[in-house]
Amino acid sequence: MYIEHITTEGDRWDLLAWRYYRDVAQIQKLIEANPTAPISETLPSGLTLLIPVIEQAETQSIEELPPWKR
C-alpha cells in the first residue's frame, strides 16, 4: 500500500521520511519505492512519489513510546 506525495519546492528525502515516518532512517524505503526519482539534495517540485505505508507494531501503546515519538 502506498500514499502518493507530490513534491513542492524544498522537499528533501530526509524531510519526507520525517514527515511520514517520524524517522529519517527510513529514507532508503522512500528511495527504493521511487527508483526513477533523482537522488539529489532537493527534489524537483511537481514530482509524484510513492510513500510506502509501514505498519506500526500494535503491541506498543503510546505511553511506552519515548516522548519524541508520541
pLDDT by 10s per residue, the chain, length 70: 999 999 999 999 999 999 999 999 999 999 999 999 999 999 999 999 999 998 765 434 666 767 776 6
The domain tally of the chain equals 1
Helix residue spans in 12-69 (DSSP H): 13-21, 27-33
Determine the pLDDT at residue 67: 76
Cell representation of residue 16: 519526507
Determine the pLDDT at residue 18: 95
Could you tell me which of 2, 4, 1 has the C-alpha nearest to residue 49?
Answer: 4
Inter-residue contact 11 to 17 (CB < 8 Å): no
For 13, phi then psi, to 5°, come to: -55, -45
The whole domain housing 36 covers 2-69
